[in-house]
Amino acid sequence: MAKPNKIQKTSKLKHVKNIIRVIIFGSSGFIGSNLFHHLSKKGGFEVVGYSVDNCNLLEHEQVVKAMQIADPETSVVFCSAISRLTEDSWDTMQKNILMVHNFIASMPKQGIRSIVFLSSADVYGFPSSQVLPITEATLPEPTGYYGLSKLICEKMLQFKINPSCPVTVLRLAGVFGRSDNFQSMIGKFAKKIAEQQPLIITNDGITKRDYIEIDELCQIITCFLQKPAEGVFNVVTGKSHAVKEIVMMLAKELDVKPKIQFTQQAGERDTNLVFDMTKLKTKLKSACPGIKLKGIEAGIKKYVQDNALKLKK
């Protein structure tokens, strides 16, 4: 872990009324850094970003120090976590839970304005086709330590830290976009297609997934910061596509014929993940009617444009 006590990343303050102070934990990560940039550019926000460099969430004292600036007008976006792509183990599950515990234990007595917690659709596991589409009422059945840690953290935050502090839980099914360093599923596909590397796809590529582009996610989070809401929301586009179809969308934008190798290694991860986004759509329509989610095709087009130079190397 890097040493703490570096100056936190902070947007330039504008002396305007009704400015919302936002603390982002995990501001150096893919989602956190994009959100920091989005809020700073939008205006109307005082944004403070903490990463492991200036606040190790595993160290309670450091979290207490970071939260000293929080007050009843402060909202927190909790992006920090050790993802299952890094390691899906008992040890990382404990660390993810400890990070949220330290945050809760560092809450100021006077409370804060709201919390937005980035969770994962991994809490649902891989439901059978009989229970699709997945809604927020679908029974969580995580199949890995990461999904279990997210579910536990959700419940910890929902144990009413403060009755006047809404906790918004956003369950992400998959995010891609600018600066993901080709680590998202879309990014990995794009890189391999552009480099003419073979793509190994199971189940004939018919497994369905729903991924959302980072700018659309930032708009959604911004809406919940402006209009805090209590509850759980699935954050998806609302239209799942077969993996093979997603690959062909990318190939079309890259103008490259993909080299696909299909395998028949069926398993739980070949289960379709189809979501119902009625709850999120209803919230956005009432709170932030200006948000128009364009879907994965527009997101892929933007992704290829944003990464054009890197994809041509």
Residue whose pair of structure tokens reads 């029974």 in the numeric block = 139
5-9, 97-101, 254-258: least confidently modelled range: 5-9
pLDDT at 162 over 80: no
Which pLDDT score, from 0 to 100, does residue 10 have?
A: 67
Lowest-pLDDT range, 45-59, 137-151, 252-266?
Answer: 252-266
CB of 52 within 8 A of CB of 28? yes
When pLDDT is averaged across residues 132-154 and rounded to a whole number, the result is 97
β-pair type (212-213, 175-176) = parallel
**Neighbour-count burial for 27-52, b at 16+ CB within 10 Å, e otherwise:** bbbbbbbbbbbbbbeeeebbbbbbbb
Q: Where are the alpha helices (DSSP H) in 214-277?
A: 214-226, 243-254
Mean pLDDT, to the nearest integer, of 203-219?
Answer: 94
178 close to 303: Cβ distance less than 8 angstroms? yes
Q: What domains can you pick out in the chain, each with its CATH number?
A: 9-178+211-237+274-293 (3.40.50.720)
Query: Quick check: 268 pLDDT over 70?
Result: no
22: tokens are 């936002």
Helix (H, G, I), strand (E, B) or coil at 14: coil
Q: What is the pLDDT of residue 2?
A: 37
Average pLDDT over residues 256-278: 85
Per-residue confidence at 4, pLDDT binned at 50, 70, 90?
very low
More confident residue, 37 or 264: 37
For residue 107, what are the contacts with CB-CB under 8 A and spacing of at least 6? 67, 70, 161, 162
Global pTM?
A: 0.93
Strands (E) located in the chain: 9-10, 20-25, 45-50, 74-78, 114-120, 167-172, 175-176, 198-202, 208-209, 212-213, 231-235, 241-242, 259-263
**pLDDT (0 to 100) of residue 266:** 59
Q: What is the pLDDT of residue 8?
A: 58
For the segment 198-209, the average pLDDT, to the nearest whole number, is 91
At residue 43 the predicted structure's pLDDT band, cuts being 50, 70 and 90, is confident
Answer whether residue 34 shows pLDDT above 70. Answer: yes
| For residue 135, pLDDT beyond 50 | yes
Residue 260 per-residue DSSP state:
E
Of 188, 216, 191, the residue nearest 299 (C-alpha): 216
Q: What is the pLDDT of residue 164?
A: 85
Task: Look at residue 144 and tell me whether its pLDDT is greater than 90.
Answer: yes
Determine the average pLDDT of the residues in 251-274.
85
Reported as a pLDDT band with limits 50, 70 and 90, residue 17 is low
Where residue 122 falls among pLDDT bands split at 50, 70, 90? very high
- The yes-or-no verdict on residue 202 having pLDDT over 90 is no
